[in-house]
Structure 1
Amino acid sequence: MAGTPVRLQYSWFLIGGVIVILFGPQVARIFPELGVWAHLVAAAYAVLLLLSVLAHELAHALTARAFGWPSTEIELNLWGGHTQFLTREATPGKSLAVSLAGPAANLLIAAVGWALIEALEPVGVLGMLASVTVLVNFLVGLFNLLPGHPLDGGRLVESAVWRATGSQDRGMLAAGWAGRAVVVALAATVLVLAATGSPRISLVLVVVATMVCFFLWQGAGDAVRTARARLTRQRHDDDGGGGAGGPQGPGER
């Protein structure tokens, strides 16, 4: 798509099935006349989420292409998706622009969708799916703006430290630690809600939050370890212990 191959991992069907199982009964309660077809509407939820993630990744790919960074692949998987591309003459500003393009696309879709709902006032199943489209894109865009790696907002931290220190690796290290702080904040929020008996908490939310926190902690830890390894190698080279580094590898958003 847009000159970039899109790969749908089998793991996506797992989250798609979970969405159908969780939301099928809810749709049936709202529209009892649908019967078993309520699960088909729930499946449409999963497809809308897939398309929202695809729009997010395409925004990354198209912005990267505008800077002359060819995209090699868009992958959609259990955790959402990512875009791989080859960076050339990267700068903090360009890196930040590519990263923020994804959330911006989702927030734009949410805004346009909300305006259409206000103008057309769709009802029934169509109205519900329209509302789901707006909500999904708003949440995907907003969540990805959280300031920590591996979320897109982590590039804001990385770019700021990169610009201040002249070292992208130091920026990555800071973004990794910021990502860990985001995980702690998310986990603490869920724990507080659960401890206070908030009606907003549920077993489904706890399970989803646990999975998300695990994924984010893993991604943040990978960034910290990679940045530390690069900084250690750079110090070793500066001390005369090695040759020049190789070319910059593929980027990922």
Structure 2
Amino acid sequence: MTRRLSGGGFTIARVAGTPVRLQYSWFLVSAVIVVLFGPQVQRIFPEIGPLAYLVAAAYAVLLLVSVLAHELAHALTARAFGWPSTEIELNLWGGHTQFVTRGATPGKSLAVALAGPAANLLIAAVGWALIEALEPVGVLGMLASVTVLVNFLVGVFNLLPGHPLDGGRIVESAVWRSTGSQDRGMLASGWAGRAVVVAIAATVLALAASGSPRVSILVVVVATMVCFFLWQGAGESVRLARARLAHRRGLDGGREGSQER
């Protein structure tokens, strides 16, 4: 995902001159992953004992690496268009890449947006092929499967058509290209993001009402947090687009008034 970055955290690396910052909130996510998945790993591999929690911590690291691969794909594609990246942030919600756009077009914007999900889906495909060829077993086999699953989910989720997800850039680019206005594209992307939130919430509620065993309290809590985050991002896009369109209308009106005088 690409959006404006927040402060805090610390730099863990520099890639092609771009600082990669890890927010402290990531440790909260990793702790939750360890607590939730540690007991599951222990049930599957009772012989490893407390080391099951170390395997669960590896889940969190694999998620971090998958998100980093996603954001690096954004940054490197932007750099190919001459858009320098200023920072990559890894945090509670995944990650963000901030870069300076120069001479942006709908096509370039679309390419940068799609690069992130494409990287994850490529990793998932390569990982799946290696699993099929090598057939790893035990803890190694589990971690390989987790790598494939995490990258697949990160790639597919980010393709959902609404801001602040990468799929929102698809909507924005399509409307931008058809109307000639990036602001109208941003407005459409924001409303599409709100529609995605409604769809996610409706799906979870419908499954919960049907008594589906797939919907636990944890699923409801995570879905609520995700919907809150997405709704905030979509609302920010709508507000910003409306402000820009209103400003542009004001400028156009001022020019018309000057011409009449």
TM-score (ref. length: structure 2): 0.92
Relative contact order (C-alpha < 8 Å, sep 6+): which is higher? 1
Q: Within the alignment, does 1:213 sit opposite 2:214 as a pair?
A: no
One-letter amino acid of the counterpart of residue 104, structure 1: A
Return the alpha-carbon distance in structure 1 between the equivalents of residues 165 and 141 of structure 2.
31
Return the alpha-carbon distance in structure 2 between the equivalents of residues 217 and 176 of structure 1.
9
Ranges of 4+ aligned residues in structure 1 off by more than 2 Å: none
Return the alpha-carbon distance in structure 2 between the equivalents of residues 22 and 193 of structure 1.
22
Query: Which residue of the partner structure matches residue 117 of structure 1?
Result: 131
Return the alpha-carbon distance in structure 2 between the equivalents of residues 195 and 216 of structure 1.
23
Return the alpha-carbon distance in structure 2 between the equivalents of residues 35 and 240 of structure 1.
73
Query: Which residue of the partner structure matches residue 188 of structure 1?
Result: 202
Return the alpha-carbon distance in structure 1 between the equivalents of residues 157 and 28 of structure 2.
21
Q: Within the alignment, does 1:133 sit opposite 2:144 as a pair?
A: no
Q: Cα deviations across residues 80-137 of structure 1 (Å, max 9, x unaligned)?
A: 0000000000000000000000000000000000000000000000000000000000
Q: Within the alignment, does 1:3 sit opposite 2:17 as a pair?
A: yes
Return the alpha-carbon distance in structure 1 between the equivalents of residues 75 and 64 of structure 2.
16
User: Which residue of 78, 82, 87 corresponds with 2:101?
Assistant: 87
1:1-253 residue pairs with structure 2 within 5 A? 1-240=15-254
One-letter amino acid of the counterpart of residue 166, structure 1: G
Return the alpha-carbon distance in structure 2 between the equivalents of residues 24 and 205 of structure 1.
17
Q: Give the percent of matched residue pairs that are identical in Structure 1 and Structure 2.
A: 85
5+ residue gaps, structure 2: 1-14, 256-261
How many residue pairs are counted as aligned between the two chains? 242
Shift of residue 202 of structure 1?
A: 1.1
Shift of residue 79 of structure 1?
A: 0.3
One-letter amino acid of the counterpart of residue 110, structure 2: L
Shift of residue 203 of structure 1?
A: 1.2
Shift of residue 216 of structure 1?
A: 0.3
TM-score (ref. length: structure 1): 0.94
Q: Give the aligned CA root-mean-square deviation in angstroms.
A: 1.0
Greater alpha carbon shift after TM alignment, 47-56 vs 202-211: 202-211
One-letter amino acid of the counterpart of residue 158, structure 1: E
Q: Cα deviations across residues 16-54 of structure 1 (Å, max 9, x unaligned)?
A: 100001000100110111111110000000000000000
